[in-house]
Structure 1
């Protein structure tokens, strides 16, 4: 396993430009596998299932890792996520942002937040539409204990390469309009287009780890 990870990691690092940061999507992979990837110098890991993530965080507490929550954030899990993740990629409504803000104030922390935006019709994915985000942007900026650093988006399945490129470019343009530095966009199957469009943070899972080994619980 170590040689497998080393080979994949080396190949990936040779391709990534220095302007892009890598988020290793570790959901479905064991704590020991995460430890191996961390030994390469990777510090940022993405999880989407809270209980699975909390177990891994305990097992890896001796490492200085940065945990990103990348899944759909249910309102009843906001407090646990705010307390244990330093970055949240999936704030997809004003009401959720308000809840995260209120709980962050109560917990005395200030998480980095990316606003999830949906730029194409896609029933399988959440996110704010462009016009809705622009209309609530002034109110979002006033929320305390919430450090909004950028936007996150995902391309629907089935798009052509040029269509994915166009979508990612729209996200980068909107982030620039809002003066947000970060764009979390690009996964294992489309990261080349995301990088070309100006992504600053790639969410890569299978490109690093290979197929998921842990069953969903």
Structure 2
């Protein structure tokens, strides 16, 4: 069994790092939200991070988010992983923000489910900036059409964009990729930019991220044997 990480210390260290980088970029302190990615981690780990001040937590799998929603209160949940239409029902009313909207069909399902429970669901459009076939997200050139189509959904509130960089990219390559998302956001008046993880959140913040999604640096390596 792997050693239990010092989650409270790790969270504070990452938060201090995020704030330091933000201020060094000349940006307003606290303007970058740290999302603690708790996928595969037990509720006890989440509670430890909360003791250090964490509020925002990210999950990849809708069923895992829904289960933890019942186990832990006082959390702002983020659905950050790929979301299938038939899994939307698990998280509507439980998640503050869906980061991974990547099709009109998914938007239609989110709209329907949100309308049924009387809420407006905040979402981000996932954009595949790198063009990797293995990654989800829409192509950047399809963003205008996507934005226009979303206007018909009254219970979906599109607040910004999300992207994932490529493992193994250099710092300069990361900055270039993240800057492309920032440029898209500026072009279409989209304020929220979710980008950057444990290995590249520095470049993401330097490129304009308003949210970074950090898991390993807080909770340690993921353990997929945990249910």
Provide TM-score, normalisation by structure 1: 0.93
Change over 3 Å in CA distance of 1:59–1:194 after alignment to 2: same
For residue 214 of structure 1, report the CA deviation from its aligned partner.
Answer: 4.9
Residue matched to 1:191: 201
Q: Report deviation, 1:134.
A: 1.4
Distance 1:50 1:95 in 2: 17
* Contact preservation (8 Å) 1:112, 1:146: yes
Partner of 2:12: 10
Structure 2: state its 5+ residue gaps: 20-29
> What are the superposed Cα offsets for residues 159-195 of structure 1, whole Å, 9 maximum, x if unpaired?
2221110110010111111111100000001101000
Q: 1:121, CA displacement in angstroms?
A: 2.0
Q: 1:20 maps to what in 2?
A: 32
Structure 2 Cα separation of the partners of residues 29 and 216 of structure 1: 7
- What's the counterpart of residue 29 of structure 1? 41
Residue correspondence of structure 1 range 98-113 to structure 2 within 5 A: 98-113=108-123
Provide the rounded CA distance (Å) in 2 between the counterparts of 1:205 and 1:7: 14
CA distance in 2, matches of 1:81, 1:53: 7
Alignment of 1:1-217 (within 5 A): 4-17=6-19, 18-60=30-72, 63-215=73-225
Distance 1:139 1:54 in 2: 29
Q: Partners of 2:76 and 2:12 in 1: how far apart?
A: 21
- C-alpha contact (below 8 Å) 1:86/1:112 kept by paired residues: yes
More off after superposition, 199-208 vs 46-55 = 46-55
- Once the two structures are superposed, residues 135-177 of structure 1 have per-residue CA deviations (whole angstroms, 9 ceiling, x without a partner) of 2322213321111111000012232221110110010111111
Give 1:113 deviation, angstroms: 0.2
CA RMSD of aligned residues (A): 1.7
How many residue pairs get matched?
A: 215
Q: Within 1, Cα distance between the matches of 2:203 and 2:97?
A: 24
Kindly indicate whether the alpha-carbon contact (under 8 Å) linking 1:184 and 1:199 is maintained by their aligned counterparts in 2: yes
Give the match's secondary structure for 2:11.
Answer: helix
Over 3 Å counting, the alpha-carbon distance change for 1:7 and 1:64 in structure 2 is: closer
Structure 1 gap segments, 5+ residues each: none
